A = this chain, B = another copy of it.
Protein backbone atom coordinates (compact mmCIF):
# COMPACT_ATOMS: atom_id res chain seq x y z
CA UNK A 1 0.00 0.00 0.00
CA UNK A 2 1.36 3.41 -0.92
CA UNK A 3 1.90 5.98 1.77
CA UNK A 4 -0.88 8.17 0.45
CA UNK A 5 -3.26 5.66 -0.98
CA UNK A 6 -6.86 5.07 -1.81
CA UNK A 7 -9.10 3.23 0.57
CA UNK A 8 -10.00 0.92 -2.27
CA UNK A 9 -13.32 -0.90 -2.45
CA UNK A 10 -15.84 -0.02 0.25
CA UNK A 11 -19.38 -1.11 0.98
CA UNK A 12 -22.47 0.91 1.75
CA UNK A 13 -24.39 -0.31 4.79
CA UNK A 14 -27.89 0.30 5.99
CA UNK A 15 -29.24 0.57 9.49
CA UNK A 16 -32.94 0.39 10.25
CA UNK A 17 -34.04 2.30 13.35
CA UNK A 18 -37.25 1.18 15.01
CA UNK A 19 -37.17 3.82 17.74
CA UNK A 20 -39.24 6.70 16.28
CA UNK A 21 -37.57 9.99 15.48
CA UNK A 22 -39.53 13.18 16.24
CA UNK A 23 -38.77 15.85 13.66
CA UNK A 24 -38.87 19.63 14.06
CA UNK A 25 -41.78 19.76 11.61
CA UNK A 26 -43.92 18.00 14.25
CA UNK A 27 -43.98 14.67 12.44
CA UNK A 28 -42.51 11.47 13.82
CA UNK A 29 -41.05 8.73 11.64
CA UNK A 30 -41.81 5.40 13.38
CA UNK A 31 -39.32 3.36 11.37
CA UNK A 32 -36.46 4.90 9.40
CA UNK A 33 -33.23 3.93 7.79
CA UNK A 34 -29.80 5.45 7.25
CA UNK A 35 -27.29 4.51 4.57
CA UNK A 36 -23.71 4.90 5.72
CA UNK A 37 -20.12 3.86 5.09
CA UNK A 38 -17.12 3.54 7.38
CA UNK A 39 -13.40 3.70 6.64
CA UNK A 40 -10.56 2.70 8.98
CA UNK A 41 -11.17 1.00 12.30
CA UNK A 42 -12.74 2.14 15.52
CA UNK A 43 -10.07 1.93 18.22
CA UNK A 44 -10.57 0.15 21.52
CA UNK A 45 -11.22 3.42 23.36
CA UNK A 46 -13.80 4.35 20.68
CA UNK A 47 -12.18 7.76 20.60
CA UNK A 48 -11.06 8.03 16.98
CA UNK A 49 -14.34 8.41 15.11
CA UNK A 50 -14.91 11.27 12.70
CA UNK A 51 -18.31 12.01 11.17
CA UNK A 52 -18.44 13.49 7.68
CA UNK A 53 -21.61 15.49 6.98
CA UNK A 54 -22.62 16.03 3.38
CA UNK A 55 -23.83 19.12 1.57
CA UNK A 56 -26.86 19.67 -0.66
CA UNK A 57 -26.32 16.92 -3.20
CA UNK A 58 -23.89 14.73 -1.26
CA UNK A 59 -24.28 11.33 0.33
CA UNK A 60 -22.59 8.64 2.42
CA UNK A 61 -20.15 7.53 -0.28
CA UNK A 62 -17.38 9.85 0.86
CA UNK A 63 -14.25 7.86 0.01
CA UNK A 64 -13.10 4.74 -1.80
CA UNK A 65 -14.83 3.00 -4.67
CA UNK A 66 -17.30 0.13 -5.08
CA UNK A 67 -16.00 -3.24 -6.24
CA UNK A 68 -18.79 -3.49 -8.79
CA UNK A 69 -18.41 0.14 -9.87
CA UNK A 70 -14.74 1.12 -9.60
CA UNK A 71 -15.29 4.51 -11.25
CA UNK A 72 -17.69 5.57 -8.52
CA UNK A 73 -15.18 7.39 -6.31
CA UNK A 74 -16.35 8.98 -3.03
CA UNK A 75 -16.86 12.75 -3.13
CA UNK A 76 -14.12 13.53 -0.61
CA UNK A 77 -11.75 10.74 -1.61
CA UNK A 78 -8.92 13.23 -2.17
CA UNK A 79 -9.04 14.00 1.57
CA UNK A 80 -9.69 10.63 3.17
CA UNK A 81 -7.50 7.51 3.09
CA UNK A 82 -4.31 6.02 4.41
CA UNK A 83 -1.69 8.79 4.69
CA UNK A 84 -4.16 11.43 3.48
CA UNK A 85 -5.07 14.52 5.55
CA UNK A 86 -7.88 12.56 7.16
CA UNK A 87 -5.73 9.49 7.74
CA UNK A 88 -7.72 6.27 7.93
CA UNK A 89 -4.71 4.56 9.54
CA UNK A 90 -5.53 6.72 12.53
CA UNK A 91 -9.20 7.63 12.31
CA UNK A 92 -12.44 5.72 11.96
CA UNK A 93 -14.42 7.75 9.45
CA UNK A 94 -18.19 7.61 9.05
CA UNK A 95 -20.10 8.92 6.05
CA UNK A 96 -23.88 9.07 6.21
CA UNK A 97 -26.70 9.93 3.86
CA UNK A 98 -29.04 12.32 5.64
CA UNK A 99 -32.73 11.77 6.33
CA UNK A 100 -34.67 13.11 3.36
CA UNK A 101 -31.88 12.05 1.02
CA UNK A 102 -32.09 9.98 -2.12
CA UNK A 103 -29.16 7.63 -1.70
CA UNK A 104 -30.55 4.93 0.53
CA UNK A 105 -31.62 6.77 3.67
CA UNK A 106 -35.32 7.26 4.31
CA UNK A 107 -36.53 10.10 2.12
CA UNK A 108 -39.26 11.23 -0.25
CA UNK A 109 -38.69 8.35 -2.64
CA UNK A 110 -38.98 5.79 0.20
CA UNK A 111 -42.24 4.01 0.82
CA UNK A 112 -44.53 5.75 3.30
CA UNK A 113 -45.86 2.90 5.48
CA UNK A 114 -49.16 4.75 5.91
CA UNK A 115 -49.92 4.64 2.16
CA UNK A 116 -47.58 1.96 0.79
CA UNK A 117 -46.60 4.53 -1.83
CA UNK A 118 -43.52 6.80 -1.99
CA UNK A 119 -43.72 9.64 0.52
CA UNK A 120 -43.24 12.26 -2.19
CA UNK A 121 -44.40 15.69 -1.06
CA UNK A 122 -45.68 14.19 2.21
CA UNK A 123 -42.17 13.57 3.49
CA UNK A 124 -41.63 16.07 6.29
CA UNK A 125 -39.28 19.03 5.93
CA UNK A 126 -36.11 18.14 7.84
CA UNK A 127 -33.76 20.52 9.63
CA UNK A 128 -30.06 20.50 10.40
CA UNK A 129 -30.96 19.74 14.04
CA UNK A 130 -33.06 16.76 12.90
CA UNK A 131 -29.98 15.43 11.12
CA UNK A 132 -27.89 15.82 14.27
CA UNK A 133 -30.46 13.71 16.15
CA UNK A 134 -30.44 11.05 13.43
CA UNK A 135 -26.65 11.04 13.18
CA UNK A 136 -26.45 10.66 16.99
CA UNK A 137 -28.63 7.55 16.75
CA UNK A 138 -26.21 6.17 14.20
CA UNK A 139 -23.34 6.99 16.58
CA UNK A 140 -25.19 5.10 19.33
CA UNK A 141 -25.57 2.07 17.08
CA UNK A 142 -21.87 2.17 16.19
CA UNK A 143 -20.87 2.47 19.85
CA UNK A 144 -19.52 5.99 19.49
CA UNK A 145 -20.26 8.10 22.57
CA UNK A 146 -18.23 11.02 21.41
CA UNK A 147 -16.91 11.97 17.98
CA UNK A 148 -13.26 12.94 17.81
CA UNK A 149 -14.54 15.36 15.18
CA UNK A 150 -17.56 16.22 13.09
CA UNK A 151 -16.73 17.91 9.83
CA UNK A 152 -18.26 19.07 6.59
CA UNK A 153 -18.29 21.75 3.91
CA UNK A 154 -21.16 24.10 3.09
CA UNK A 155 -24.38 22.59 4.49
CA UNK A 156 -22.10 19.89 5.95
CA UNK A 157 -20.21 22.54 7.93
CA UNK A 158 -23.52 23.79 9.29
CA UNK A 159 -24.22 20.32 10.66
CA UNK A 160 -20.78 20.26 12.34
CA UNK A 161 -21.59 23.60 13.99
CA UNK A 162 -25.05 22.43 15.05
CA UNK A 163 -23.60 19.29 16.65
CA UNK A 164 -21.53 21.43 19.02
CA UNK A 165 -24.66 23.33 20.06
CA UNK A 166 -27.17 20.48 20.31
CA UNK A 167 -24.97 17.72 21.72
CA UNK A 168 -21.93 19.50 23.15
CA UNK A 169 -20.70 16.48 25.12
CA UNK A 170 -20.60 14.26 22.08
CA UNK A 171 -18.15 16.14 19.85
CA UNK A 172 -14.57 17.20 20.65
CA UNK A 173 -13.75 19.04 17.41
CA UNK A 174 -15.81 20.68 14.71
CA UNK A 175 -14.34 21.39 11.27
CA UNK A 176 -16.65 23.98 9.71
CA UNK A 177 -15.66 24.57 6.09
CA UNK A 178 -17.10 27.05 3.56
CA UNK A 179 -20.17 27.52 5.73
CA UNK A 180 -22.21 30.40 7.14
CA UNK A 181 -24.12 30.89 10.38
CA UNK A 182 -27.32 31.43 8.38
CA UNK A 183 -28.41 32.22 4.84
CA UNK A 184 -28.80 35.77 3.58
CA UNK A 185 -31.86 36.99 1.70
CA UNK A 186 -29.87 36.54 -1.52
CA UNK A 187 -28.98 32.94 -0.62
CA UNK A 188 -32.65 32.21 0.10
CA UNK A 189 -33.65 33.95 -3.12
CA UNK A 190 -31.47 31.65 -5.23
CA UNK A 191 -32.87 28.63 -3.38
CA UNK A 192 -36.41 29.79 -3.97
CA UNK A 193 -35.90 30.22 -7.71
CA UNK A 194 -34.52 26.65 -7.78
CA UNK A 195 -37.51 25.35 -5.81
CA UNK A 196 -39.99 27.22 -8.00
CA UNK A 197 -38.32 25.73 -11.09
CA UNK A 198 -39.02 22.26 -9.68
CA UNK A 199 -42.44 22.90 -8.19
CA UNK A 200 -43.83 24.59 -11.32
CA UNK A 201 -42.55 21.82 -13.62
CA UNK A 202 -45.75 20.13 -14.88
CA UNK A 203 -44.05 16.76 -14.28
CA UNK A 204 -43.72 17.54 -10.56
CA UNK A 205 -47.38 16.67 -9.93
CA UNK A 206 -47.40 18.35 -6.53
CA UNK A 207 -44.46 16.22 -5.44
CA UNK A 208 -46.17 12.92 -6.28
CA UNK A 209 -44.47 12.39 -9.62
CA UNK A 210 -43.50 8.82 -8.67
CA UNK A 211 -47.06 7.61 -9.04
CA UNK A 212 -47.18 9.21 -12.49
CA UNK A 213 -44.03 7.36 -13.45
CA UNK A 214 -42.31 10.59 -14.43
CA UNK A 215 -39.78 13.06 -13.01
CA UNK A 216 -39.55 16.87 -13.10
CA UNK A 217 -36.23 16.80 -14.94
CA UNK A 218 -36.73 20.22 -16.55
CA UNK A 219 -37.09 21.95 -13.19
CA UNK A 220 -34.32 19.98 -11.54
CA UNK A 221 -32.01 20.76 -14.47
CA UNK A 222 -32.65 24.50 -14.11
CA UNK A 223 -32.15 24.29 -10.34
CA UNK A 224 -28.79 22.63 -10.82
CA UNK A 225 -27.67 25.03 -13.56
CA UNK A 226 -28.46 27.94 -11.28
CA UNK A 227 -26.85 26.28 -8.26
CA UNK A 228 -23.74 25.61 -10.27
CA UNK A 229 -23.29 29.31 -11.05
CA UNK A 230 -23.19 30.03 -7.33
CA UNK A 231 -20.66 27.25 -6.67
CA UNK A 232 -18.07 28.67 -9.06
CA UNK A 233 -16.25 31.95 -8.85
CA UNK A 234 -16.63 34.67 -11.44
CA UNK A 235 -12.83 34.59 -11.92
CA UNK A 236 -12.73 30.86 -12.46
CA UNK A 237 -15.57 30.98 -14.97
CA UNK A 238 -13.79 33.78 -16.78
CA UNK A 239 -10.58 31.80 -16.94
CA UNK A 240 -12.12 28.43 -17.78
CA UNK A 241 -14.80 29.56 -20.23
CA UNK A 242 -14.65 33.29 -20.76
CA UNK A 243 -16.58 34.11 -23.94
CA UNK A 244 -15.26 31.07 -25.83
CA UNK A 245 -17.60 29.63 -28.43
CA UNK A 246 -18.19 25.94 -29.07
CA UNK A 247 -16.29 24.94 -32.22
CA UNK A 248 -19.45 23.36 -33.68
CA UNK A 249 -21.75 26.16 -32.58
CA UNK A 250 -24.13 27.96 -34.87
CA UNK A 251 -24.83 31.60 -34.25
CA UNK A 252 -27.85 33.88 -34.08
CA UNK A 253 -29.89 31.10 -32.53
CA UNK A 254 -30.71 29.61 -29.16
CA UNK A 255 -28.72 26.38 -29.32
CA UNK A 256 -25.51 25.90 -27.37
CA UNK A 257 -23.07 28.55 -28.50
CA UNK A 258 -20.84 29.71 -25.66
CA UNK A 259 -18.73 27.09 -23.83
CA UNK A 260 -20.23 28.16 -20.51
CA UNK A 261 -23.70 27.29 -21.84
CA UNK A 262 -22.52 23.86 -22.90
CA UNK A 263 -20.93 23.22 -19.50
CA UNK A 264 -23.93 24.35 -17.47
CA UNK A 265 -26.49 22.48 -19.56
CA UNK A 266 -24.39 19.34 -19.35
CA UNK A 267 -24.11 19.64 -15.58
CA UNK A 268 -27.84 20.27 -15.35
CA UNK A 269 -28.75 17.32 -17.56
CA UNK A 270 -26.46 14.94 -15.72
CA UNK A 271 -27.77 15.91 -12.30
CA UNK A 272 -31.42 15.88 -13.36
CA UNK A 273 -31.03 12.36 -14.71
CA UNK A 274 -30.59 10.87 -11.26
CA UNK A 275 -31.21 13.22 -8.33
CA UNK A 276 -34.57 13.20 -6.56
CA UNK A 277 -36.47 16.49 -6.93
CA UNK A 278 -38.16 16.25 -3.53
CA UNK A 279 -34.79 15.69 -1.87
CA UNK A 280 -33.52 18.82 -3.61
CA UNK A 281 -36.43 20.79 -2.18
CA UNK A 282 -35.80 19.42 1.32
CA UNK A 283 -32.08 20.13 1.27
CA UNK A 284 -32.55 23.74 0.16
CA UNK A 285 -35.19 24.23 2.85
CA UNK A 286 -32.82 22.85 5.52
CA UNK A 287 -30.33 25.47 4.33
CA UNK A 288 -32.89 28.28 4.50
CA UNK A 289 -34.03 27.29 8.01
CA UNK A 290 -30.53 26.87 9.42
CA UNK A 291 -30.12 29.72 11.92
CA UNK A 292 -28.82 28.48 15.29
CA UNK A 293 -28.80 32.03 16.66
CA UNK A 294 -32.53 32.54 16.10
CA UNK A 295 -33.72 30.93 19.38
CA UNK A 296 -31.11 33.07 21.18
CA UNK A 297 -32.39 36.46 20.06
CA UNK A 298 -30.19 36.37 16.94
CA UNK A 299 -27.10 36.21 19.15
CA UNK A 300 -24.80 33.56 17.69
CA UNK A 301 -22.38 33.88 20.62
CA UNK A 302 -25.22 33.06 23.01
CA UNK A 303 -26.15 30.04 20.86
CA UNK A 304 -22.58 28.79 21.13
CA UNK A 305 -22.15 29.54 24.85
CA UNK A 306 -22.75 25.95 25.87
CA UNK A 307 -20.51 24.41 23.23
CA UNK A 308 -17.48 22.48 24.45
CA UNK A 309 -15.79 21.59 21.16
CA UNK A 310 -12.67 23.06 19.62
CA UNK A 311 -13.06 24.47 16.13
CA UNK A 312 -11.34 24.78 12.81
CA UNK A 313 -13.14 27.23 10.54
CA UNK A 314 -12.05 27.40 6.90
CA UNK A 315 -13.17 29.76 4.15
CA UNK A 316 -12.09 30.41 0.56
CA UNK A 317 -11.31 33.83 -0.89
CA UNK A 318 -13.44 33.56 -4.06
CA UNK A 319 -16.45 31.86 -2.43
CA UNK A 320 -19.33 34.28 -2.97
CA UNK A 321 -22.04 31.84 -1.90
CA UNK A 322 -20.67 31.74 1.66
CA UNK A 323 -17.92 34.32 1.65
CA UNK A 324 -15.05 34.51 4.16
CA UNK A 325 -17.00 37.28 5.94
CA UNK A 326 -19.66 34.70 6.82
CA UNK A 327 -17.06 32.33 8.30
CA UNK A 328 -15.67 35.23 10.31
CA UNK A 329 -19.10 35.71 11.86
CA UNK A 330 -18.80 32.18 13.24
CA UNK A 331 -15.24 32.78 14.40
CA UNK A 332 -16.23 36.01 16.09
CA UNK A 333 -19.03 34.30 18.05
CA UNK A 334 -16.62 31.55 19.13
CA UNK A 335 -13.96 34.06 20.19
CA UNK A 336 -16.55 35.93 22.26
CA UNK A 337 -17.05 32.68 24.16
CA UNK A 338 -13.31 32.13 24.49
CA UNK A 339 -13.77 28.80 22.70
CA UNK A 340 -10.65 27.42 21.05
CA UNK A 341 -10.86 28.26 17.35
CA UNK A 342 -8.44 28.25 14.46
CA UNK A 343 -9.47 30.14 11.37
CA UNK A 344 -7.92 29.87 7.94
CA UNK A 345 -8.88 31.80 4.82
CA UNK A 346 -7.56 29.88 1.84
CA UNK A 347 -6.60 31.74 -1.33
CA UNK A 348 -8.35 29.80 -4.05
CA UNK A 349 -9.79 30.54 -7.49
CA UNK A 350 -12.45 27.81 -7.16
CA UNK A 351 -15.27 29.65 -5.38
CA UNK A 352 -17.57 27.66 -3.10
CA UNK A 353 -16.56 24.38 -4.73
CA UNK A 354 -13.02 24.87 -3.38
CA UNK A 355 -13.95 22.80 -0.32
CA UNK A 356 -14.08 19.73 -2.56
CA UNK A 357 -10.79 20.42 -4.33
CA UNK A 358 -7.37 18.92 -3.82
CA UNK A 359 -5.60 22.16 -2.95
CA UNK A 360 -2.20 21.63 -1.34
CA UNK A 361 -2.39 24.41 1.22
CA UNK A 362 -6.02 23.64 2.15
CA UNK A 363 -5.26 19.96 2.68
CA UNK A 364 -2.10 20.82 4.62
CA UNK A 365 -4.20 22.92 6.99
CA UNK A 366 -6.69 20.10 7.53
CA UNK A 367 -3.88 17.57 8.01
CA UNK A 368 -2.12 19.77 10.56
CA UNK A 369 -5.31 20.26 12.55
CA UNK A 370 -6.38 16.63 12.41
CA UNK A 371 -2.91 15.37 13.42
CA UNK A 372 -3.13 17.32 16.66
CA UNK A 373 -6.43 15.78 17.70
CA UNK A 374 -5.62 13.55 20.65
CA UNK A 375 -7.35 10.20 20.70
Contact = CB atoms under 8 A, between A and B. Distances in A.
Interface of A: 24-26, 124-125, 182-186, 188-190, 192-193, 195-197, 199-202, 218, 221-222, 225-226, 229, 232, 234, 237-238, 240-243, 252-254, 257-261, 264-265, 268, 281, 285, 288, 291
Contacts of A241: 185
Contacts of A192: 225, 258, 260-261, 264-265
A226 B264 contact: no
A261 B265 CA distance: 25
A192 B259 CA distance: 11
Copies in the complex: 2
A253 B125 contact: yes
Contacts of A259: 185
Q: Determine chain A's interface SS by DSSP, over half rule.
A: helix
Contact of A229 (B193, B258, B268, B288): B193
Contacts of A196: 221-222, 225, 265, 268
A261 B188 contact: yes
Contacts of A265: 192, 196
A238 B185 contact: yes
Given A26-B252, A192-B264, A242 B200 contact: no
B254 A188 contact: no
Contacts of A240: 185
A238 to B, nearest CB: 6
A368 to B, nearest CB: 33
Contacts of A226: 193, 226
Nearest to A200: B218
Contacts of A195: 254
B186 A234 contact: yes
Nearest to A192: B261
Given A185-B237, A199-B254, A258-B288, A229 B25 contact: no
Contact of A189 (B184, B221, B222, B264): B264
Contacts of A234: 184-186
A197 B185 contact: no
Given A238-B185, A260-B188, A261-B188, A125 B252 contact: yes
A184 B281 CA distance: 30
B237 A285 contact: no
B188 A243 contact: yes
16 contacts: A26-B252, A125-B252, A182-B243, A183-B243, A184-B243, A185-B237, A185-B242, A185-B260, A189-B261, A196-B221, A196-B222, A200-B218, A200-B221, A200-B222, A254-B285, A257-B288
